[in-house]
């Protein structure tokens, strides 16, 4: 029973032990290894504590918190927290918080009931998460989006004008399968797929967690490398209106950038409301840039974050650049984002944000930053399926002297 094995391996009691392990990793750096049966992953703590973080700040782990997803009070279906949302937990800067997340795929109206949906695709009842069934049976989908959102978590002392740094320390699977879906009228080819007049088409992908691959069912031998990350992480927008969970914004949300919010990455979000009100949703076990069919491999995951508050009056001292949109960092690159309903405008915004980032962090004149963006920086389409489209810049750290493991030596006569 794969699910039972996963539940035993990554149960809630085990997570508390893992949180202590992660806190130790934060204190001492090094490699954080997952439990047997999953892949070894490099914790964000290691590259951040070695000076790879743009802010230059190293924040030891504080208290550890666990937010289970098994009660309606911590779930919102189809919408994001807004400024009036009541936090389900409050943490301090430096604290670690583990947040269980529930996939929406398999419980949406066009998929029928989850018992039949999963059974028809080879998943027995005991491998369906109880809390996913709880959402289907007990929670009303009040928002326009499909996502099941966990949170929000308030950060003590956070105020508009501050920036919230979210370090993703670990992302663990809750089940050994995921679902990819396309729906008529959506996706990158909304009038062409699904074929034959179908409104819905989906594939269930089983995982080989020992080898860290998804087994694509429609072609023998096709394997998709797994790279679990959270499609939705963000802070609450400053509005009392209901916020659709689908389009991303300056508050983060459904950015769907596969380079961010995976284990060992960091993202920065501009705080919009008191407490910041952090949330997560939309677990992805693998995704291609663009997310063209509409979804990634949607699956239930459990991320562990460290939250670090950067106060407005200390941003310059802590070397946090002032950008319009969320931005982030991996072990080898900085990630800067552009968001707009028009893909061309999203690209322009990503370029402007890149120029601003380089001007503030690398002290380049804007004209030179624009030049470097053209010759040394990659711009990738994050996604084209979330109402507002995304483009992100990949600013490779080895462009800069401090980012090179072995600076080149001059050779010649």
- Annotated domain spans of the chain: 62-314, 327-403
Pick the CATH number of 327-403 from 3.40.50.720, 3.30.70.20, 3.10.28.20, 3.40.30.10: 3.10.28.20
HSE toward the beta carbon, residue 55, CA cutoff 13 A: 25
Q: Which residues are bridge partners to 98 per DSSP?
A: 66, 304
* pLDDT band, residue 406 (cuts 50/70/90): low
The residue among 48, 12, 53 whose CA lies nearest residue 27 is 48
DSSP H or E run through 267: strand 265-270
CA dihedral over 365, 57, 154, 266, signed as positive or negative:
positive
What is residue 284's predicted lDDT score, i.e. its pLDDT?
98
What is residue 50's predicted lDDT score, i.e. its pLDDT?
43
CA dihedral over 358, 359, 362, 368, signed as positive or negative:
positive
Least confident window among 9-13, 206-210, 349-353, 409-413: 409-413
Instruction: Tell me if residue 25 falls in helix, strand or coil.
Output: helix
Listed in sequence order, the residues at least 6 apart from 313 whose beta carbon sits closer than 8 Å to its beta carbon are: none
* pLDDT band, residue 214 (cuts 50/70/90): very high
What is residue 46's predicted lDDT score, i.e. its pLDDT?
41
What is residue 78's predicted lDDT score, i.e. its pLDDT?
98
What is residue 220's predicted lDDT score, i.e. its pLDDT?
85
What is residue 289's predicted lDDT score, i.e. its pLDDT?
97
Give the integer Cα–Cα distance in Å for 17 and 41: 17
What is residue 11's predicted lDDT score, i.e. its pLDDT?
53
Instruction: Tell me if residue 403 falls in helix, strand or coil.
Output: helix
Is pLDDT of 22 > 60? no
Note the CATH number of domain 62-314.
2.60.120.580
List, for residues 47-74, the tens digit of each pLDDT value.
Answer: 443 444 666 667 888 999 999 999 999 9
81 within 8 A of 253, measured Cβ to Cβ: no
| pLDDT, greater one: 129 or 404 | 129
Is pLDDT of 412 > 50? no
Burial of 194 (0-12, 13-18, 19+ CB in 10 A): middle
The residue among 290, 234, 311 whose CA lies nearest residue 267 is 234
Region 119-127: mean pLDDT is: 96
CA dihedral over 168, 170, 175, 177, signed as positive or negative:
positive
| pLDDT, greater one: 411 or 366 | 366
Q: Angle of helix 366-376 relative to helix 343-361, nearest 10 degrees?
A: 120
Kindly report the average pLDDT of the chain as a whole number.
Answer: 88
Region 392-405: mean pLDDT is: 92
% of the chain beyond a pLDDT of 90: 81
Give the integer Cα–Cα distance in Å for 80 and 135: 16
Q: Which residue has the tokens 């562990």?
A: 304
List, for residues 224-249, the tens digit of each pLDDT value.
Answer: 999 999 999 999 999 999 999 999 99
What is residue 404's predicted lDDT score, i.e. its pLDDT?
81
The 64-67 sheet, strands edge to edge: 64-67, 96-99, 301-310, 163-173, 265-270, 327-329, 333-340, 389-396, 378-383
Is pLDDT of 272 > 80? yes
* pLDDT band, residue 39 (cuts 50/70/90): very low
Region 29-43: mean pLDDT is: 29
Is pLDDT of 42 > 90? no
What is residue 21's predicted lDDT score, i.e. its pLDDT?
55
- Tokens, residue 79: 């919408």
Is pLDDT of 124 > 60? yes
* pLDDT band, residue 18 (cuts 50/70/90): low
């Amino acid at each position: 029973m794969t699910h039972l094995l996963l539940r035993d391996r990554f149960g809630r009691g085990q997570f508390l032990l893992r949180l202590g392990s992660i806190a130790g990793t934060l204190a001492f750096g090094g490699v954080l290894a997952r439990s047997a049966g999953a892949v070894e992953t490099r914790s964000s703590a290691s590259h951040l504590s070695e000076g790879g973080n743009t802010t230059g700040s190293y924040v030891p782990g504080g208290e550890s918190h666990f937010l289970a997803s098994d009660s309606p009070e911590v779930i919102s279906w189809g919408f994001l927290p807004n400024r009036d949302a009541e936090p389900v937990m409050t943490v301090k800067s430096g604290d670690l918080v583990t947040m269980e997340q529930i996939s929406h795929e398999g419980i949406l109206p066009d998929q029928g009931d989850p018992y039949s949906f999963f059974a028809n695709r080879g998943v027995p009842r005991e491998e369906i998460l109880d809390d996913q069934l709880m959402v289907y049976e007990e929670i009303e989908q009040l928002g326009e989006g499909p996502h099941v959102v966990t949170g929000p978590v308030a950060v003590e002392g956070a105020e508009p004008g501050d920036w919230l740094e979210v370090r993703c320390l670990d992302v663990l699977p809750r089940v050994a399968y995921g679902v990819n879906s396309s729906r008529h009228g959506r996706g990158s080819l909304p009038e062409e797929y699904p074929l034959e007049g179908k409104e819905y088409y989906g594939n269930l992908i089983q995982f080989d967690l020992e080898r860290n691959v998804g087994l694509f069912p429609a072609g023998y031998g096709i394997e998709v490398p797994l790279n679990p990350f959270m499609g939705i992480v963000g802070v609450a927008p400053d509005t009392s209106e209901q916020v659709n969970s689908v389009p991303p914004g300056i508050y983060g949300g459904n950015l769907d950038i596969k380079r961010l919010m995976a284990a060992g990455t960091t993202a920065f979000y501009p705080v919009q409301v008191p407490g910041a009100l952090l949330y997560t949703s939309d677990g992805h076990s693998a995704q291609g840039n663009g997310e063209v069919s509409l979804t990634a491999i949607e699956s239930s995951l459990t991320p562990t974050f460290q939250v670090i508050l950067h106060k407005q009056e200390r941003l310059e001292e802590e070397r946090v650049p002032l950008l319009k949109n969320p931005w982030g960092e991996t072990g080898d690159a900085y990630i800067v984002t552009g968001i707009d309903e028009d893909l061309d405008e999203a690209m322009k915004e990503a370029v402007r944000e890149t120029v601003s980032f380089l001007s503030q962090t690398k002290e380049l004149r804007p004209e030179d930053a624009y030049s470097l963006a053209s010759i040394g920086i990659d711009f990738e389409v994050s996604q084209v399926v979330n109402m507002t489209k995304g483009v992100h810049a990949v600013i490779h750290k080895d462009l800069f002297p401090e980012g090179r493991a072995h600076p080149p030596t001059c050779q010649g006569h």
